[in-house]
Amino acid sequence: MTSVFMRRATVRNLNWFAATTRGLSQIFFQANVWTGLAVLAGFAIANWRMALLAVIGLLCSTLSGVLLRRRLGELGDGLHGYCGALVGAAQFSALGFTWPAAAFAVAGGLACGPVTVALAWLFYHPSSRKYSLPVTTAPFCIVAGVLFAVHAPLHGPHTDLGEVPENILANVGQAILNNISEVVLVDSSIAGAVILVGLFIAHWKVGAAALLGSGMEALMDLATGSDVQAVAHGLLGYSGVLTAIALAVVFVRGTWQPWIAAVVGVVVSSVLAWLMGLTALPVYTWPFILATWLMLVVLHHLPGFSYHT
């Protein structure tokens, strides 16, 4: 009898509700319906139209996985949906709730499937298989980057971020929550708090890692004299959130080792974010991706450390 995890998915036998909610939670490496609903609430708090485009991107990305005959288990766990959700959110951020944004969300979501499969094949190639690097959000960054270049002439004027608290502690507190919400391109402390609750629902370590990465980023950015507005609105620290969760909870084995790896990884991610911020290109989650890949390659050669994907 074929296992449900080995069976190829079809449109009819896939649980689309589970795939959608878990797909949203997979942005933070979780396959948890409640965490996914918290992420969806975070989108909706920012703008229900943004939530709609994120879901459209997710459904199209999942559909492309079905068409590519991916396994039912990985589709049901949302592993082919989360990049499409981020692509949909990115279209709203760039174009607002417009017909071009919806069209690009559909096209980008569908493109995430083959890009994900191609990257997975590349990392399974004999030359790189020993590192077992995860795809993470690289398909989102690739697809969203291409779409950004295509519809750049349609972008509206830059909007002011608004005022930030004068109190340094209030700045840190706002930055910690906004770092979490900006993972999904949302600028809202309330949304960040809701998503953080969802992360703790998944597991206390996930929530703790998110706070570790976000707190480190906020303090480092303020200490190095970064723009206070950008720090408070989470524009510089969101990659640290994902890096900390990836290394402390998901990929690195051990008791204390994952947390040490997370601390170092967040520092690397912060440096990469600063360097990429000097360019005119959209940064998205590239600092997190590159920092995580680099850390996993280095840990592969260090005694006392092991990881899994």
Pair (30, 142) in one structural domain: yes
Q: What is the pLDDT of residues 31-82, one digit of tens each?
A: 999 999 999 999 999 999 999 999 999 999 999 999 998 888 888 999 999 9
Pair (109, 174) in one structural domain: no
Q: Structurally, how many domains does the chain consist of?
A: 2
How many C-alpha atoms does 117 have within 13 Å on its Cβ side? 15
Would 159 be classed as within a structural domain?
Answer: no
Pair (100, 127) in one structural domain: yes
Q: CA dist 77 to 24, 33, 183, Å? A: 10, 9, 20
Pair (105, 210) in one structural domain: no
Chosen domain end from 154, 180, 200? 154
pLDDT exceeding 70 applies to what percent of the chain?
91
Task: Report which of 244, 296, 124 is spatially closest to residue 305, judged by C-alpha positions.
Answer: 296
Phi, psi of 293 (to 5 degrees): -60, -45
Query: How far apart are alpha carbons 136 and 265 in whole angstroms?
Result: 15
Pair (127, 70) in one structural domain: yes
Chosen domain end from 127, 154, 181? 154
CATH number at residue 202: 1.10.3430.10
If you compute the radius of gyration of the chain from its CA atoms, what whole number of angstroms results? 18
pTM > 0.85: yes
Q: By residue range, what is the domain housing residue 37?
A: 16-154
Pair (188, 105) in one structural domain: no
Would 186 be classed as within a structural domain?
Answer: yes
SS3 161: coil
Q: What is the pLDDT of residues 8-25, one digit of tens each?
A: 767 777 889 999 999 999
Pair (93, 186) in one structural domain: no
Pair (134, 222) in one structural domain: no
Rounded to 5°, angle at Cα 252 from 205 and 295: 115
DSSP 306: E
